[in-house]
A and B are shown apart, each in its own frame.
Chain A
Amino acid sequence: MKQWILLICLVLISVPALAGQQRLYIYNWTEYMPDEVLTAFQEKTGIKVIYATYDSNESMYAKVKLTRGKGYDVVFPSTYFVHKMRKEGLLSPIDHEALSNFKHLDPALMDQPYDPGNKYSIPYVWGSTALAYNNNQVAPEMMTSWKDLWRPEFKNRLVMNDDLREVLGIGLIVNGFSVNETDPDRIHAAYESIRTLMPNIRVFSGDSPKQPLLNLEAFAGMIWNGEAYMAAQEFPAIQYAYPEEGAIFWVDSMVIPTGAENKKQAHAFIDFILDPQIALQVCEYIGYAPANQSAIALMPEEIKNNPTIFPDPEEVKKGEFQTDVGDAILVYERYWERLKTGM
């Protein structure tokens, strides 16, 4: 199946601009942009959009890396993949002058360590990974710190993301370290902590951590805020809580790979997405906070004041953004294998 998609893409690329029509190749997360936005862009600019999707940063990275990004014009990597791809020269600089809507971006999310000065990336949406619980079973005061996950009452009742950086990240946080630790001794300490958490873990969820909470299989756990927001709409007992040590934050950004062939059109698309009305439309569809302060101003009060989508700035300051850990990922992977084989 994948080979076919690749083959079709190659055929499409090798037929250069049929009838001189301008094209734009977008590579995005699944269910991360409404179709109406793409149609509106095509109607406004006459640029034909070819849209492909991925389900993890890792698979997106492998493809962009192998082709040097040739064949994709706009890609949406998360925080530490921007860092990694920038360091490896896979990203092309973005001309801020070409973006008339640049001024709408939220300064709080700009100029982060993963891309100082936003030379290579423009934030799209952002969110956090923090605690979730079902308030029919769990009192709010039982869920104030990452350490609460270790409570004996939660034996076999937690849902965790099936993501080694995030799970071992919690181990690092409770030991007082950074989630971006590269020191093997500290990662080992995190592993030792998570090992004692294993009896509480009911399920590692790779696709949708809200499901075990909605299914009543898990009473608490870690979750992305967008998932928690959607879960609460379906089942209001699901609550989202920022732990006192601070949550893990991430931003998904728009970037242009070095090998992109339609850089001008890519800038036009990024500028279109930064339009507050369009950013609002995106947020209403995917349920994550836009990196666009003018769009937030247009929102109804109940969404604007929802702490799940928009945390208190104090919470953001306490939290930490993930960055690339380089070869230390091998150490993380080793300990992850040990956790999952019960060693």
Chain B
Amino acid sequence: MNERQGFKFIAVFLNMAWFAVFVLVPGLMVVGISFMTRDTGTFFSPPLTLTQYRELLDPVYAKVLGASLIYSLNTTLLCLCISYPFAWILSRVSKHRRPLLLMMVIIPFWTSSLIRTYALVILMKANGIINTLLSAAGIISEPVTLLYTDFAVYVGLVYSLLPFMILPLYAVMEKMDLRLLEAARDLGANTCQVFVHVVLPLSLPGVLAGCIMVFLPAMGLFYVPDLLGGAKTMLMGNFIKNQFLTAMNWPFGSAASVFLLLLMGLMIIIYFTFSRRFNRHQAL
């Protein structure tokens, strides 16, 4: 084994070991616990059962899951609508301006997203910056209700996740061959047709990657709805935390986590199938 191979081996081994110890083992423990019985003495105990999964069928949990999915789905769509034109412009401005614009997308992410969420509270509260400015300008007499509404939740989620949509879109758009667009125009396509038949299909891998990268984390950012929405809706994150800590029902919390894991796994499989099919299509 030469030195280079040795380095490769160590790098791969360290990564694998890291994932095995901190991701795979805890993950398997969660799966294992989800088949056990609640026990206040030891948190969970042996009699193996499927009760936890049967209880997940209760309509209450369908509502918890539904609320989480709706927040994630809407956030993804909003991010896509905002990012698509932005990424397009970004990939078309002159090369020496691009780094500056990219930096402006990335710099806010050097601060913790929790701190940025608190900053949004200061902006949107009844005696906050937005309301103070609006009333000073004489536009409103009573403060506008912004905080603790769904609007505030979406502002927070979209703001937190926007770069995860912009960057993959930018990556595909930057590589796009502009001659294809010219060719389409030469063949008589109008702007709309160029977009639908050329730009959109070519950017599809970026759209898919961006959607996955926004949708999955949006399910987990439950502190944003808690802080900006007033914690009036229970989401999967709150629900699992409550099962573990308050109800001390570790098996039930684990079953919910396993369910969520399967759901996300399914989405990633769909993503890979689509992108593989797309690549084959493109290669032809």
A residues near B, CB below 8 A?
3, 56, 58-59, 62, 65-66, 88, 162, 164, 198, 201-207, 211-212, 215-217, 326-327, 329-330, 333, 336-338, 340-343
- What is the CB-to-nearest-CB distance from B246 to chain A, in angstroms, rounded to a whole number? 6
A3 to B18 CA separation, bound complex (whole angstroms): 13
A56-B245, A202-B148 are known contacts. Are A215 and B233 too (CB-CB below 8 A)?
no
| Count, chain B residues at interface, CB 8 A | 34
CB atoms of B231 and A329 under 8 A apart: no
Q: With A215-B125, A333-B242 as known contacts, state yes or no: A341 contacts B232, CB within 8 Å.
A: no
Give me the interface of B with A, judged by CB distance under 8 Å. 22, 40-41, 43, 59-60, 63-64, 67, 121, 125-128, 143, 147-148, 226-227, 230-234, 238-239, 242-249
With A217-B147, A343-B63 already in contact, the answer to whether A3 and B249 are too (CB < 8 A) is no
A342 CB contacts on chain B under 8 angstroms: 63, 233
Nearest CB in chain A to that of B63: its residue: A341
Contacts of B239 in A (CB 8 A): 337
Alpha-carbon distance A147/B237, docked complex (angstroms): 32
Name A327's closest neighbour in chain B (CB-CB).
B40
Inter-chain contact A337/B246, CB cutoff 8 Å: no
**Given known A-B contacts A203-B148, A330-B249, A340 and B234 have beta carbons under 8 A apart:** yes
Q: A215 vs B243: C-alpha distance in the bound complex, in angstroms?
A: 32
Among candidates A58, A59, A88, A337, residue contacting B60 with C-beta atoms closer than 8 Å: A337
A169 nearest CB across to chain B (Å): 14
Can you name 23 A-B residue pairings with CB atoms under 8 Å? A3-B22, A62-B43, A65-B43, A201-B230, A201-B232, A203-B230, A204-B232, A205-B231, A207-B227, A212-B148, A215-B126, A215-B147, A217-B148, A329-B246, A329-B248, A330-B249, A333-B242, A333-B246, A340-B231, A341-B60, A341-B233, A342-B63, A343-B63
Q: How far is the CA of A244 from the CA of B284 in the complex (A)?
A: 79
Contact partner of A330 among B67, B127, B230, B247, CB < 8 A?
B247
Q: Which residues on the B side are within 8 Å of A58 (C-beta)?
A: 245-246
Q: Which chain B residue shows the least CB distance to A333?
A: B247
**Are A206 and B226 in contact, with the CB atoms below 8 A?**
yes
Q: A66-B43, A88-B41, A204-B231 are in contact. List 14 more A-B contacts (CB 8 A).
A: A3-B22, A59-B245, A62-B248, A203-B230, A205-B231, A215-B126, A216-B126, A217-B125, A329-B246, A340-B238, A341-B60, A341-B63, A342-B233, A343-B63
Dominant SS among interface residues on chain A: helix
Closest to B242 in A: A333
B234 touches A341 (CB 8 A): yes
C-alpha gap A211/B245 in the complex (Å): 25
Contacts of B232 in A (CB 8 A): 198, 201, 203-204, 340
- Does the CB pair B246–A162 fall under 8 Å? no
Contact, CB under 8 Å: A164 / B147: no
Task: For the complex, give the distance between the alpha carbons of A123 and B143 in Å.
Answer: 44
Separation in Å of the A100 CB from the closest CB of chain B?
37
Nearest residue, chain B, Cβ from A165: B246
How far is A215 from B247 in the complex, measured between Cα atoms in Å? 32
**In whole angstroms, what is the CA distance A333 to B227 when docked?**
21
Give 10 nearest A-B pairs by CB, closest first: A203-B230, A58-B245, A340-B234, A215-B125, A204-B231, A216-B126, A333-B247, A341-B63, A203-B148, A216-B127
Q: Provide the bound-state CA to CA distance between A202 and B149, in Å.
A: 9
Q: How far is the CB of B155 from chain A (nearest CB, A)?
A: 16
CA gap between A215 and B127 in the complex, in Å: 6
Within the complex, what minimum Cβ distance (angstroms) separates A233 from chain B?
A: 17
Instruction: Please give the distance in Å from A236's CB to the nearest CB on chain B.
Output: 15
